[in-house]
Structure 1
Amino acid sequence: MSKLDQYVKAATPDNTRKAYQGAVRHFEVEWGGFLPATAESVARYLVDHAETLSVNTLRQRLAALAQWHLDQGFPDPTKAPIVKKVFKGVQVLHPAQEKRAKPLQIEQLAQVDRWFEEAIVVAGTKNDRRAALRHLRNRALLLLGFWRGFRGDELTRLRAEHVEVIPGQGMTCYLAFTKTDRQVKGTTFKAPALARLCPVEAYLAWVNAAQIGEGAVFRSIDRWGHVSTEGLHIDSLVPLLRSILKEAGVPSPELYSGHSLRRGFATWASANGWDVKSLMEYAGWKDVHSAMRYVETADPFARHRISEMLVLDSQE
């Protein structure tokens, strides 16, 4: 691979590139479309898959086809009026209800942390290095992910040389790019040291035990307790989180995903008086609608608010 290709490849996250490649392959190989595509063929592709693929999946397929044409120097057929009208029709006739990850509540976070404390002690008494390292890593991942409201890919890309810790005060994490960092200027996130459920303490315990001074913070551990030099793959994060919750006795672990930590923190912050602006600045949201999608209100059906108003009405 030439240096030019390396830089071009680095411009797009691996998971996005793989998803786009799969989408283009589906259009060309499985459906039998031709590239470069015409607007009419893209419209027919949408029609043929309107009842079997979700609106979000079709949107991603269009984005992949658009990117392929732009990369190859061809006009983008997905911007044609016929394609836009067909896609709007699909949205009308096959509306998609957005599925949101279940937020990890603070009570559940505390439950899992208590389980970690006991599991780490047990692993130590059994001289089980693999189990001890695994629990230390997972505890740090969970607490840092929650209190920083990190996305899954941000956790897997965090590097030790980009983390600065001031014991008893907090830690600073630098990420070269994030989802909302369109200019790739890099973003610095700060996490506080806490009296309990402390992400700083958990982070130090993990990197010291694993002897990590540089490179990926969160890594795989083999059966003999050897820590890999490579970071966890993004695809392993959701199964890992669900495994942690299952082991700790949290009900229905299959309902949680990589967004559960971020949603959990947003819900906790909102319930404890954080205004939307403060929450957006802390978690890195640029759009208020994006931020509010992550907040699970304490009274989702407005039952208490309406009940209180009914009581006041009856007293008049």
Structure 2
Amino acid sequence: GNRAAELRHTRDRALLLLGFWRGFRGDELTRLQVEYIEVSPGHGMSFFLPHTKGDRQNKGVTLKAPALKQFCPVAAYIAWKEAAELDSGPVFRSVNRWGGIGNQGLHMDSLIPLLRTIFKDAGVANSDDYSAHSLRRGFANWASGNGWDIKTLMEYVGWKSVQSAMRYVDAIDPFAQHKIEASLSASPTIAALKIENKDDLT
């Protein structure tokens, strides 16, 4: 019966599942627009981003996410869109104590405190260590640990270089690191890559 709490829960679930399964950056999450999202229930969804970090020609980029049997980002997005009665504008917005939905999108500066609060309430250890890139890093490590090769991971997330991908894979997971290095075994640059990214991976 708590309208505000219900809305926040529905929003936060959508934010986490979209952010994780799509490997979004924090700024991309806050800039998602309802009118640039197409949903095919039971199949997947696509997002058009007019501006992204690697889009030097400003043509925009379209990304896709699948519908899943559990922890589904598509179902979570639909639930939030319907609960908040969103037809256009920013996807993720503030919810006040009375259950009112803000007109503006969440500010980037509010995303980190929000994520840390969500993780703390869920009992996640060291919740204050998480940042706006944690969902992206989490997906990269999940994917590499579940057999994704570096090329597939780069294409899905949108990285243009192996160096960018390597910065997101934790060296504390030797199995994930091994899988990426194995896929690069034919490349003469792997030794240099290890040295170049040593500081980023410690």
TM more than 0.5: yes
Q: CA separation in 2, counterparts of 1:204 and 1:292?
A: 33
Q: CA separation in 1, counterparts of 2:148 and 2:174?
A: 18
Task: Confirm or deny: 8 A CA contact 2:93 2:104 kept in the other structure.
Answer: yes
Alignment match, 1:267: 141
How far 1:223 sits from its partner (Å)?
Answer: 1.1
Task: Confirm or deny: 8 A CA contact 1:207 1:217 kept in the other structure.
Answer: yes
How far 1:277 sits from its partner (Å)?
Answer: 1.1
Q: CA separation in 2, counterparts of 1:296 and 1:170?
A: 29
- When the two chains are superposed, the root-mean-square deviation of aligned CA atoms in Å is 1.6
Task: Confirm or deny: 8 A CA contact 1:267 1:297 kept in the other structure.
Answer: no
Task: Confirm or deny: 8 A CA contact 1:271 1:297 kept in the other structure.
Answer: no
5+ residue gaps, structure 1: 1-126, 305-316
Alignment match, 2:88: 214
Runs of 4+ in structure 1 off by over 4 angstroms are none
Determine helix, strand or coil for the equivalent of 2:57.
coil
The 5 A counterparts of 1:74-113 are none
Alignment match, 1:205: 79
Determine helix, strand or coil for the equivalent of 2:168.
coil
Q: CA separation in 1, counterparts of 2:104 and 2:129?
A: 28
Confirm or deny that 1:166 pairs with 2:57: no
- The residue type paired with residue 208 of structure 1 is E
How far 1:297 sits from its partner (Å)?
Answer: 5.1
1:288 counterpart (147, 156, 162)? 162
The 5 A counterparts of 1:101-140 are 127-140=1-14
- The residue type paired with residue 282 of structure 1 is Y
How far 1:296 sits from its partner (Å)?
Answer: 2.1
How far 1:301 sits from its partner (Å)?
Answer: 9.2
Q: Which has the larger radius of gyration?
A: 1
Confirm or deny that 1:186 pairs with 2:60: yes
Determine helix, strand or coil for the equivalent of 2:142.
helix
- The residue type paired with residue 244 of structure 1 is I
Confirm or deny that 1:234 pairs with 2:117: no
In proportion to residue count, which structure has more helix? 1
Confirm or deny that 1:248 pairs with 2:122: yes
How far 1:272 sits from its partner (Å)?
Answer: 1.1
Q: CA separation in 1, counterparts of 2:15 and 2:175?
A: 32
How far 1:298 sits from its partner (Å)?
Answer: 6.6
- The number of equivalent residue pairs is 177
**Larger RCO (alpha carbons 8 Å, 6+ apart):** 2
Q: CA separation in 1, counterparts of 2:172 and 2:22?
A: 21
The share of aligned pairs that are identical, in percent, is 66
In proportion to residue count, which structure has more strand? 2
